[in-house]
Structure 1
Amino acid sequence: MPPSDVESDAGNMALPSDSPWGLEEMDVSMDLTSFAWPQAADDMDLLLHGLGNGSFELDGGPVFVANRITELDDEAVPSGLVAETSQQERGAEHPRAALGLVGPPGRDHIREPRALAIRPSVEETSSTSGESAWVITTPDSSENGSSVKQPSSSRRTSGEEASGVAAVTDPRLLGPCSKVWVVPKKARKKRRTANPNKPSRGGEKRPPRRRRPFQDEETRTQTALTRELRSCVRCRMLRIRCHPDMSDPDGPCLTCLALTVPIMCKLPCLRWIITDSSLYREQSRPYQLFSKRWQSMDLVDISTWASTEVKRIRLSQIYLDVPYDVEVREFEPVEGDMLEERWTSNGVTKSHRIPRYALADMERSAAVLQAFIQDNIARYICGTVGQSDELIWQTYFFAFRHAQTAKTPTERELVLNAFRFWVACRKTSNPEHIIGEDKLGGDRVDDPASVFHDRVPMPVIMIAQMECILYTRVLRPVHKKLLDQLNFLVKENKRQYWLTLYLTMFILLHSCAMVSRRDWETARQYNLQDEYANHESISKHQIGVNVMLAHFHYLNKGVLPFQLTYNAAGLRTLSKAADLDSEQVEFLKLTSRLLREPSRVAETGSVRARRDLNHDLYWVMQLYEENWVPGPTA
């Protein structure tokens, strides 16, 4: 967000009413001496019906006027133009009655809607005196019902003669010179009638515009190569042609190499697309060490049951107490089923027998897990990051509230989907145990080296079943929707979306660190030779995180938003550019203060130096780097 662009993009944005920078209020005082307030009684109607609400002085005392104008009817005549007056008990008679125009200020005289017009009297227009005379024209609702046809033949009351004002009711006298306050009729769009011979297009999107044929073979070849290599982030965001370098197709594009002027964003030429990213540990089938029954993530129930009895047990993950109930059934094991829990202690592999039970109905269990994830986001946030680094906790806490208070439905849904996805990742990465009275005959693990110490492990085959459920019903569909929503907001390239994108990417980057750490622990638990239990998936996940970081730093355009919080001028710029309210500004000020704490700065430097990809701060701290470049992955 360069400061030079702030004023043009955010010119219409209003600062919050409780702005913390002490802005002075706008001076709305006016000098009314030059507005020629009415000096004569014959100008009184002009004030009453032309200026609306007001107060003025008569001989008898002050008069307060309220004016109501309603919409025109079909004949372009005002359907109601009413002047209601109130005065003190010592006040004089109604000003219009004082002029001899209408009766006292009762409600009877407004039963019939009328329009009042004021124009100079025909008899007085040739007068040489300096005083102006006026005609009050009140057209009837009927076209044929004029009580007086000419102003000269109208009968005048004593009040009218004294004031030089005539009352006329002929609508034809409303000429171009008449001084009439008319509210124009509201324009209505013509409704498009449905054609019974054409199919309805309701809800259908306009077909995409077709590309014109290529004019030469060279352009065709370059386009084909660009589609294969993908356009770089900068060219795609600017919607310009990305010309690949034929001599070095994998290197920077010719468009980026041709840049000779200084640019705000120093981002390298990266051919990355958000929708191609991986934000979780992808698997095509359950972990085969647990069971070989499922060669895909399809929900297929076990067919080899040892009993018809269905039991209900209560489960919970080890690191937090958020229980839920599932129905299980005893099964007959087949080759490849793991029937014991294993772990490694001091280089020695140990095991513990577990009950032979599995989920009785995977579809019903899927409904339970989907509802569980939706209803327990807040508990998972508190139980997972409640005792972690303050920067992480404060960001999660604010993001959870932002999911309910963001300005647009798209932003609220994006943050909520990020939390759903985040909880599902915690479900697939952390072990669970059986709680409650019915332990299915299982025993507690007595080895302190095991993560299940003093607990009854959940049957391992149920881990494989839950992987099928969570990947099929939660992770894959939410992942696709999450990437589409992220891609949409990033391509919009609007600064008012910056805070939502920052919070979403913070959650996803921190999730990557937790998934990587848990996969590393699993490899140590089963004494695997690789660094991670699923090395290929973890590597793709970390590359996807770099894709998120590349797009985030492109949106910043070389500006570090959190550095704008150091002074009032920077806060004003940031608030206007990103359309932030006072609470959001305070959150950014808190984040900026936490980032500058010496202990956190030292810890971050140590984490980056030793390339600790599993540390909570390794990925999220890259959101705040000034000259970011993609870092190493697994």
Structure 2
Amino acid sequence: MPCLRYRITHSNLYRTAFYHYPFFKNHLMVGPKYGDFHIQRNWTQTDIRVLEVAQDSNVVLRLVVREFVPSFEEFGSDDTRGNKMYGIPWAIADPEEATKEVNRYLDRCIGDYLGANLDYSDHLVWGIFLWAVRLSVFPQPNKFLSDVIRLWVASRFLEGRWRCVGLNTLGAENLSHRYGKEEIVQVPPFVNYQMAAVFTQRILEPLRVTVLSQLQRLILSNRKENWFTITLSVFILLHNYEQQCRFHRDFARRRDFPVRFVEMPVINAIHSGAKTILAYFHYACKGQRPFSPEHDWSKDEANDTAHLDRDQIAFVKKCRHLTQNNVHLQTVRDGHDYEERYWFVGQLFEANWVPKETKECSLLA
């Protein structure tokens, strides 16, 4: 049994801060002061506008924004791209309405995000997600798997790439980007910060609490029929960690930082969460090694171990084949290239898994 002082429900699943940048140390994305919505703004008489933005698809997120007058102290703040945070002094008008709109956007864009961010040719990853999507609706709706997928998609919202797509850009077409040319009209910096705060506090945090609580219940209930659902969900959560490490590596590379990851507190939290979730998963296997060559899924007692049907058994065998013969997975297993494909998800398939030694200090680029 995993040590009880490490609970799945304590795990972080996404970034909650940018520790490297002064603005984000003082302006939080979580908690009662998230997004600076608690500040009484000095609104101008300008009419409200609708800012249309998009990220990894053509699905549009529409946010109602208002112009305000920044305080004198605010004028010196920069964003992560070298733009003045208050250079375009517009803010989200109502965080409650923005939250409703983001949830509607999430409902509409899940398929687009899976298609844009997953590699069809990666039969292991694509197969896991297909099974999770299938079981989230058939033979009856599975809200847990649906929430896991929603959390994975919403986590991508924190990885940049947002662009203005409507006629109303508030002057954002003049924004600069010190770290490379982008053929997009960026989102005004302060609105971009508030969007990230809404994504984090109002969308991801409720999903995190729900998903991890349910995952912990499924594992600790010790019911064999939960194994396949647990496997799918754990894989997707580990893949989410993998995507985040890749984002943070690219973030440092684009800005020519001498280290591999700028935000080591975030990376350390990722490792802590992954180790906890993996410990519980391997506990849930009850001493069985379902992905090892020795496990014979053709035997009735092996089938009974996880209460799988014929299609599910065939898929588990396929996963075993894909991982046992994957040179890349074997190569990255013992290194510290946390952004590499399979570094996290590959640990799910290890027959004799033990927590990996990870570096808590900055790694050189």
Structure-to-structure mapping, 1:83-162, within 5 angstroms: none
Q: 2:109 aligns with which of 367, 371, 376?
A: 376
- 1:463 is paired with a residue of what secondary structure? helix
What is aligned with 2:50? 312
Change (3 A) 1:565 1:402: farther
Q: Deviations over 1:164-200 (max 9, x none)?
A: xxxxxxxxxxxxxxxxxxxxxxxxxxxxxxxxxxxxx
What is aligned with 2:38? 300
Change (3 A) 1:374 1:425: same
What is aligned with 2:318? 590
> Is the radius of gyration larger for structure 1 or structure 2?
1
What is aligned with 2:279? 550
Residue type of the alignment partner of 2:336: R
CA contact (8 A) 2:23 2:78 kept: no
Distance in 2 (CA, whole Å) between partners of 1:416 and 1:338 is 43
Q: 1:282 aligns with which of 16, 21, 25?
A: 16
Residue type of the alignment partner of 2:271: Q
CA contact (8 A) 2:59 2:108 kept: no
- 2:354 is paired with a residue of what secondary structure? coil
**Residue 366 of structure 1 pairs with residue 99 of structure 2:** yes
Q: Deviations over 1:263-321 (max 9, x none)?
A: xxxxxxxx53222222222349997536955583264366123442111121012x443
Q: Deviations over 1:100-147 (max 9, x none)?
A: xxxxxxxxxxxxxxxxxxxxxxxxxxxxxxxxxxxxxxxxxxxxxxxx
Structure-to-structure mapping, 1:264-279, within 5 angstroms: 272-279=6-13
Distance in 1 (CA, whole Å) between partners of 2:26 and 2:198 is 16
Q: CA deviation at 1:421?
A: 1.6
- 1:300 is paired with a residue of what secondary structure? coil
- 2:64 is paired with a residue of what secondary structure? strand
Distance in 2 (CA, whole Å) between partners of 1:591 and 1:309 is 56
Name which of structure 1's ranges 362-371 and 622-631 shifts more when overlaid on structure 2: 362-371
CA contact (8 A) 2:329 2:343 kept: yes
Name which of structure 1's ranges 282-291 and 353-362 shifts more when overlaid on structure 2: 282-291
CA contact (8 A) 1:339 1:355 kept: no
Change (3 A) 1:622 1:440: same
Change (3 A) 1:574 1:476: same
- 1:313 is paired with a residue of what secondary structure? strand
Using the aligned pairs only, state the percent identity: 26
Distance in 2 (CA, whole Å) between partners of 1:374 and 1:607 is 35
What is aligned with 2:59? 322
Q: Deviations over 1:587-620 (max 9, x none)?
A: 22332232234xxx21112212332111231010
**Residue 332 of structure 1 pairs with residue 62 of structure 2:** no
What is aligned with 1:458? 187
CA contact (8 A) 1:564 1:574 kept: no
Distance in 1 (CA, whole Å) between partners of 2:198 and 2:145 is 23
Distance in 1 (CA, whole Å) between partners of 2:112 and 2:324 is 30
Measured on the aligned residues, the alpha-carbon RMSD in Å equals 3.2
Residue type of the alignment partner of 2:168: D
Larger helix share, 1 or 2:
2
CA contact (8 A) 1:301 1:361 kept: no
Q: TM-score, normalised by structure 2?
A: 0.84
Q: 1:433 aligns with which of 163, 174, 187?
A: 163
Q: CA deviation at 1:323?
A: 2.1
Distance in 2 (CA, whole Å) between partners of 1:632 and 1:422 is 26
Structure-to-structure mapping, 1:192-271, within 5 angstroms: 233=2
Q: CA deviation at 1:367?
A: 1.1
Distance in 2 (CA, whole Å) between partners of 1:328 and 1:285 is 27
Change (3 A) 1:575 1:459: same
- 1:328 is paired with a residue of what secondary structure? strand
Distance in 2 (CA, whole Å) between partners of 1:283 and 1:449 is 21
Distance in 1 (CA, whole Å) between partners of 2:247 and 2:102 is 21
Distance in 1 (CA, whole Å) between partners of 2:294 and 2:318 is 9
- 1:616 is paired with a residue of what secondary structure? coil
Residue type of the alignment partner of 1:626: A
Matched length: 353
Residue type of the alignment partner of 2:331: S
- 1:613 is paired with a residue of what secondary structure? coil
Distance in 2 (CA, whole Å) between partners of 1:574 and 1:378 is 34
Distance in 2 (CA, whole Å) between partners of 1:366 and 1:532 is 30
Residue type of the alignment partner of 1:532: F
**Residue 609 of structure 1 pairs with residue 339 of structure 2:** no
What is aligned with 1:419? 149
Point out which structure has higher relative CO (alpha carbons under 8 A, 6+ apart). Answer: 2
What is aligned with 1:622? 347
Q: CA deviation at 1:632?
A: 2.7
Distance in 1 (CA, whole Å) between partners of 2:211 and 2:102 is 19
Distance in 2 (CA, whole Å) between partners of 1:342 and 1:468 is 15
Change (3 A) 1:284 1:520: closer
**Residue 503 of structure 1 pairs with residue 227 of structure 2:** no
Distance in 2 (CA, whole Å) between partners of 1:420 and 1:286 is 28
- 1:321 is paired with a residue of what secondary structure? coil
CA contact (8 A) 1:285 1:468 kept: no
Residue type of the alignment partner of 1:591: C
Change (3 A) 1:287 1:358: farther
Q: CA deviation at 1:468?
A: 2.5
Distance in 2 (CA, whole Å) between partners of 1:518 and 1:448 is 18
Residue type of the alignment partner of 1:514: Q
- 1:455 is paired with a residue of what secondary structure? coil
Unaligned segments of structure 2, at least 5 residues:
361-365
Residue type of the alignment partner of 1:333: P
Change (3 A) 1:525 1:279: same
Larger strand share, 1 or 2:
1
Q: TM-score, normalised by structure 1?
A: 0.50
- 1:289 is paired with a residue of what secondary structure? helix
CA contact (8 A) 1:444 1:455 kept: no
Q: CA deviation at 1:342?
A: 5.6
CA contact (8 A) 1:286 1:468 kept: no
Change (3 A) 1:557 1:425: same
- 2:51 is paired with a residue of what secondary structure? strand
Unaligned segments of structure 1, at least 5 residues:
1-231, 237-270, 344-349
- 1:380 is paired with a residue of what secondary structure? helix
Q: Deviations over 1:460-491 (max 9, x none)?
A: 11122123322222222221121211111111
What is aligned with 2:223? 494
Distance in 2 (CA, whole Å) between partners of 1:439 and 1:284 is 26
Q: Deviations over 1:28-70 (max 9, x none)?
A: xxxxxxxxxxxxxxxxxxxxxxxxxxxxxxxxxxxxxxxxxxx
Change (3 A) 1:287 1:437: same
Distance in 1 (CA, whole Å) between partners of 2:232 and 2:152 is 13
What is aligned with 2:363? none
Change (3 A) 1:588 1:337: farther
